[in-house]
Amino acid sequence: MLDRRTFIKSSAAAAGVAVLCSTSRAKESRANPSGVGGYNYRLPAFKKGSRLLFQGDSITDMKWGRNQRDRNHYLGHSYVYLIAARLGVDMPEAQLDIYNRGMSGHKVGDLRNRWQADAIDMKPDLLSILIGINDVGRTLRGDEGFDEWEANYRFILDASRKANPDLRLVLLDPFVLASGGLADENAFKAKRAIVDRLCTIVAALAKDYDAVHIRTQEVFDAAAKSAGPAQWIWDGVHPLPQGHELIARNWLQEVSARWPRI
Cβ proximity of 232 and 246 under 8 Å: yes
Query: In terms of CATH, what superfamily is 47-258?
Result: SGNH hydrolase (3.40.50.1110)
**Whole-number Cα distances in Å, 188 to 131, 134, 196, 235:** 18, 15, 12, 11
| Domain chopping of the chain, boundaries | 1-28, 47-258
Per residue in 27-69, pLDDT (tens digit) is: 433 456 666 776 677 899 999 999 999 999 999 999 877 766 7
Backbone angles phi and psi of 171, in degrees to 5: -115, 125
- CA atoms of 61 and 183, how far apart (whole Å): 24
Spell out, as residue ranges, where the chain has pLDDT lower than 70. 1-35, 38-39, 67-68
- CA atoms of 200 and 177, how far apart (whole Å): 17
Please give the pLDDT value at position 65. 78
Tell me the HSE value of 222 on the side-chain side, using a 13 A CA sphere. Answer: 15
Please give the pLDDT value at position 86. 95
Bridge partners, residue 235, by sequence:
none
Q: Which helix (H) or strand (E) holds 54?
A: strand 51-56
**Nearest CA to 170 among 208, 126, 207?**
126
Please give the pLDDT value at position 22. 41
Residue 172: DSSP 8-state: E
Q: Max Cα separation, the chain?
A: 86
Cβ proximity of 150 and 201 under 8 Å: yes
